[in-house]
Chain A
Amino acid sequence: MKARLVAVALLAAGLGAGALGPKAAFAAAAPAAEALQVPRIAYRERKLDNGLTVLSVESHASPTVSIQVWFHVGGADDPEGKSGFAHLFEHMMFKGSKYMKSEQFDRLTEDVGGENNAFTSEDVTGYQAVVPSNHLETLLWAEAERLANLRVDEANFRSERAVVQEEYRQRILASPYGRFFEEMRTKPYLRHPYRRGVIGSIENLDAAAVADVVAFHAAYYRPDNATLIVAGDFDPRQLDAWVDKYFAPIPRPAAPLPRRETEEAAWTADRAITVKAPNVPLPAVATVWLAPPVTHADAPALQVAAALLAAGESSRLNQALVYRQQIATQAAFSTDLRAGPGLLIASAIAAGGRKPAAVRAALLAEVKRLAERPASRQELDKVKTLLLTQAFSSRQTPLGLAAAIGEAAVLGRNPNRVNTDLDDLRRVSAADVQRVMRRYVSGAHSVSLDYVQEGTPQ
């Protein structure tokens, strides 16, 4: 919803890119992952004089179209002392502009049979609408309008800030593992702005004011910091003409884009953190390592490593910790890759009566085994097929297709990653997996988190 933070789910995230091949005949023997055809996504790219990047891809399977605008700004750009601001700002983008009333965006989407949503991550803020395709021009107008002419009043600001504070309570305070998920993704950082997270805190949100909204819009919401993505049922010539009409007049500001600090030096010692909460049904553990940026050449091998450990019921962690040892109720390994230094997170929720230390030992034993012994060809092929099918499945809709292109272009800095990421994934060998596990995991320092009930003796 206007407000979805990028996934903090415990289960390992799938890969964000990929497409599988043309129709094949029924066959009793299923082909291996290597044999799956991956047709190119034939996107078009335009760059306007004001710096706006426009990416589009046609798909006429349904009379719908997705219009998305992704900005290179996220929680890591929050003003000091105002953590959570980029996300609060995302909510304010629905609160009116010079020529649009508050919530008019809902009138132009929901009320005509479409939908709208937005998300804020550490690096990126994305606005995602889907409408019946005859409403494309209207939506292009509306996106250009709130990019050019955002207007926010005090009453709307206060009520929406209260909504975001309820979001904080729902995600962090009321959810039994909310604090754990939040702290595992922030506390390990020593210096990088990622240490502040995306959702912020009640106090930091209280410190924000309407003037901050105006300043933030001026600093980051500009055509040369935005990517417009259109996917679905449209005519390319009409699209170009409407983009020229509504987006081209928006000027590129003279001031340079603010740039944030982006360094996090390699950790020089292991650390341990205990997170306590008033409402912990079963203790949980996590061990966290630093990951390279999402654009790094080692990213595909790390994604395959994570899938070997944690994708599906047959994954190593599930089989060892949940099925055989029954020491955990769930176990995960996620590659939380970002524009800057990301995280590799091994985590597990204890089974009833099991101690965190024992759960962690079992978790780390499986992680270490992957670094020490090569995975079989059969196991590698299994996870590649799973990742390819998941990626393909997520691209069936205009929303999913545009999101895949947005992720490649904005987070990956190259839209063609939407085509090349899956090729890279299929080329990953067992030796590549071992190499990256040794480099980033077994040969690196880590941060351990224990999540326990308040009042539990240590």
Chain B
Amino acid sequence: MIKNLAGTDLDVNEEGYLTNMNQWTEGVAAAIAAEEGVGPLVEGHWRVIRYLREQQSKGAALTIRGMGKSGVVTTKELYDLFPGGPLKKSSKIAGIPKPVGCI
């Protein structure tokens, strides 16, 4: 389905996650963050977002440990930056798929 955010038409799935990470812009990130009650986005958020997008484009499976040990941010800071759901919210704002189990 299509959703209009930050003046752009975006392909999203039924939970609002971007299905094409190339449609992502910083403006899109800010708009999703506002919807999720996160932010305003500061340098800490952007570091996480850039790391997630980098890992995703490498095809690596994303883990909270990966983030915690990446030196980008500690797990505790991640919860502070994206309260309530550090993985699902940061992924959504970074324009990458939601971290999921198999079902």
The yes or no verdict on A and B being binding partners is no
